[in-house]
Structures are given as C-alpha cells and as structure tokens.
Amino acid sequence: MLPDGTYTAVVDRIEDGIATLEVDTEAGLSALDIAATELPTEARTADVVLEITVADAALADVIHEPDETDNRASETQRRFDRLSERPPQDSDDT
C-alpha cells in the first residue's frame, strides 16, 4: 500500500469491478487496485485524473479532477497530431 499522503492518480483500467490506478509517487509510478465503486460515478472510466488521499494504509478520499483530465486528453491529442504529420518533402527536381 502507498504511504499516507495525497497523490495524483489516473484510472488505467476497470476490469471485473476492480479499478487499477496509476499513482504518481516520489519513487515513480505505482499501481493501486481498488473497488470501482470507490470511485465517483463520473470517474469510472479509463484516463480520468484523480486526487487521492491515503490515510492509515487505506484509501481515505477520491476527488475527480475533470479539468486536469481534459488538459491531459488535449495534450495527448496534440502529441498524436504532431506525430502523425508528414515531414516536409524536399523539392529536389534536379
């Protein structure tokens, strides 16, 4: 379990009623499995950004961060768009 504290987490997936969160810790990314019912209803989908609080080795609070979710989705789309652009063609007619 994660040490007590507040973390940014992203819903990686939900399978068979279990939500797997990718949690950003000082030591890097960590995975946390919780019951999907512990998430706010609007946060029960992949790629949703959350602020979670762990206290006494248990999940104490989960806050859905819709603005941060939208920002990350927009940034991901911009990266994809840049990667999918064709490089300029050299006009070498000699």
The string of pLDDT tens digits covering residues 29-77 is 999 999 999 999 999 999 999 999 999 988 999 999 999 998 887 787 7
User: Residue 26 burial by CB count (10 A; 0-12/13-18/19+): exposed, middle or buried?
Assistant: exposed
Residue 17 scores a pLDDT above 70: yes
Confidence at residue 90, expressed as pLDDT on a 0 to 100 scale: 67
Confidence at residue 64, expressed as pLDDT on a 0 to 100 scale: 96
Instruction: Give the whole-angstrom CA distance, residue 8 versus residue 82.
Output: 27
Confidence at residue 50, expressed as pLDDT on a 0 to 100 scale: 97
Q: pTM higher than 0.85 for the full model?
A: no
Confidence at residue 84, expressed as pLDDT on a 0 to 100 scale: 82
Residue 91 scores a pLDDT above 90: no
